[in-house]
Structure 1
Amino acid sequence: MTNSSNIGIVLSFLALWIATYFSVEYQQITGFVIIFLFGILHGANDLRLISKIKNENSISNYKKILIYYLTFVTTGVLLFYLLPEWALVIFILVSAYHFGEQHWNQLSTEKTPPIISLFQLVYGLFIFELLFYFHQKEVAVIIGEIIHSSMNTFNFTYMLQFNGLVLIVLSLVMLRKNTIFKNQLPVNLVYLLLFAIIFRNSNLIWAFAIYFIIWHSLPSIKDQICFLYGQYTFQNFVQYFKAAFGYWFLSLTGIALLYFLFRKEAVFTALFFSFLAAITFPHVLVIMKMQNKIKEH
């Protein structure tokens, strides 16, 4: 295990311990707050990452990138408004791949082979479905609010079982083809057990926040800082935060507006995840390009 992984395990159990002292309401509030602070922050420097990837730092190029980025986000919002079912499916698939790519980004040192990309997607889906399995009623309500339809007949258990079977098959293939995967498999089985414990014993929002922040956002921020500034230091983190502040603050303002306009809990939660999805779509593409750029060098 790396130092980052050890810290992640300690923070996860600390968050799980905190949950035993917090009511469901406080778990939700705290979960939303840390998602706002760190989850959105990890995607707030995308424009700077694009400039670094393209090696173009002119003001005119920055404005062009900004227009493309905002257009992408707006398209995501419209997609959730006009075709919520398709938008939700796309969001889950894109986010699942994004989570799997971040968690298993060391599987290849060159251009990612299709089998690894497929494994990363299925792994991310398994994380989602594991979370959904332990919170089926809450997830059904949120999805119902997003797609404006009842989800009472949807069975998350079958999804988890099927995806788990596919994950096992892909893992057996990876064991034969990838030495890095073979070495990392034992510790990642421990991680999956840890995630199951967290998801089972925490409120939905708090459980999602623990995984999203500790096991995705913070490692992603570290990777982005290394890509932008060469190494991870506190001074470079401050630079990263300053560069991200404008977009981060704008996103927080948008979420605050949603909260004050839609205070009903289920509706707000649905709108929150829809907003998160809209800003996730372009972010995933940026991180994919960043990872490819790193592997090129």
Structure 2
Amino acid sequence: MTNSNNIGIVLSFFALWIATYFSVEYQQITGFVIIFLFGILHGANDLRLISKIKNEKSISNYRKILIYYLSFVTTGVILFYLLPELALVIFIIVSAYHFGEQHWNQLSTEKTTTIMSLFQLVYGLFIFALLFFFHQKEVTEIIGEIIHSPINTLHFNYLLWGNGILLAVLSLVMLQKNTIFKNQLPVNLVYLLLFTIIFRNSNLIWAFAIYFIIWHSLPSIKDQICFLYGQYTFLNFVHYFKAAFAYWLLSLTGIALLYLLFRKEALFTALFFSFLAAITFPHVLVIMKMQDRIKEH
């Protein structure tokens, strides 16, 4: 168990303790705020990461990368507008793999294998399934707003049990093939227990914020800083923040406009996750390329 994970456990229980003093409304507001501050920030340096990956530093190449990136985000927005069901499924699958990849990115120093990628995907899907299972009513309302159609809550039960069984099977396979996984499995079972406690005892947005920020965004920011600047220090974090500031502020402005235009709670939450999905699609590809580049060295 690393110091970062020890800190993550402490912060998680602290966030859970704070929630006992917050009403559901304040949990949602606070959850959105920290997602805006850190969750959006962890994807705001994608252009710099792409430039580092491709070793392209010229202004013209940077502009070309920006155009491609914005085109990808726009495509995501259009997809959610025209085919919301398909877009939602793609978003969950892509995000699940992204969560699993970040959580288990130390499984190998070599190129990721097919079985490892499948395990990371199923692990991320299990996290989603666990969250959805404990907040079926809220998730049903949000998904209904996104796809403009009601869904059956039984789907969440099938999703949880199906992914749980598949995760157990893949874990047995990984135990035979990966020594790092074998060493990390006990502590990760503790983490899953922790996530279960958090998801069960927190409002949906607050529960998602705890996992998304403490267990995904902050570790991702640390990895990105190490990739960009060689090591994680406070000074390098400042450099990272300065580089990301303009795109971070632009994203926050977009979300603020969504809130001003659509104050209805369920609709805003649906639009927020749709917006988050649109900027997630290219971000996931960037981080995959970054992890591949790290393993090459």
Normalised by the length of structure 2, the TM-score is: 0.99
Quote the residue 2:243 is aligned against: 243
Given residue 243 of structure 1, which amino acid in structure 2 is its aligned partner?
Answer: A
Per-residue Cα deviation, 1:187-233 (whole angstroms, up to 9, x for no partner): 00000000000000000000000000000000000000000000000
Per-residue Cα deviation, 1:149-193 (whole angstroms, up to 9, x for no partner): 011454311210111000000000000000000000000000000
- Count of matched residue positions in the alignment of Structure 1 and Structure 2: 297
Q: Per the alignment, do residues 206 and 110 of structure 1 end up closer, same or farther by CA in structure 2, a change over 3 Å counting?
A: same
Tell me if the contact between 2:136 and 2:153 (Cα under 8 Å) persists in the aligned partners.
Answer: no
Q: d(CA) in 2 for partners of 1:174 and 1:4?
A: 24
Tell me if the contact between 2:142 and 2:270 (Cα under 8 Å) persists in the aligned partners.
Answer: yes
Paired residues for 1:120-131 under 5 Å: 120-131=120-131
SS state at 1:107 partner: coil
SS state at 1:248 partner: helix
Quote the residue 2:58 is aligned against: 58
Q: What are structure 1's unaligned runs of at least 5 residues?
A: none
Q: d(CA) in 2 for partners of 1:75 and 1:192?
A: 34
SS state at 2:149 partner: coil
Q: d(CA) in 2 for partners of 1:271 and 1:189?
A: 33
Q: d(CA) in 1 for partners of 2:174 and 2:154?
A: 31
Paired residues for 1:157-172 under 5 Å: 157-172=157-172
1:218 aligned onto 2:230: no
Q: d(CA) in 2 for partners of 1:153 and 1:197?
A: 21
Tell me if the contact between 2:140 and 2:153 (Cα under 8 Å) persists in the aligned partners.
Answer: no
Given residue 211 of structure 2, which amino acid in structure 1 is its aligned partner?
Answer: Y
Q: d(CA) in 2 for partners of 1:4 and 1:190?
A: 15
Paired residues for 1:1-297 under 5 Å: 1-152=1-152, 154-297=154-297
Q: d(CA) in 2 for partners of 1:288 and 1:234?
A: 25
Tell me if the contact between 2:225 and 2:237 (Cα under 8 Å) persists in the aligned partners.
Answer: yes
SS state at 1:155 partner: helix
Identity across the alignment (%): 88
* Aligned-pair Cα RMSD in Å: 0.6
Tell me if the contact between 2:126 and 2:164 (Cα under 8 Å) persists in the aligned partners.
Answer: yes
Q: d(CA) in 1 for partners of 2:98 and 2:155?
A: 24
Tell me if the contact between 2:97 and 2:125 (Cα under 8 Å) persists in the aligned partners.
Answer: yes
Q: d(CA) in 1 for partners of 2:43 and 2:159?
A: 29
Q: What are structure 2's unaligned runs of at least 5 residues?
A: none
Q: d(CA) in 1 for partners of 2:256 and 2:187?
A: 39
Q: d(CA) in 2 for partners of 1:238 and 1:205?
A: 28
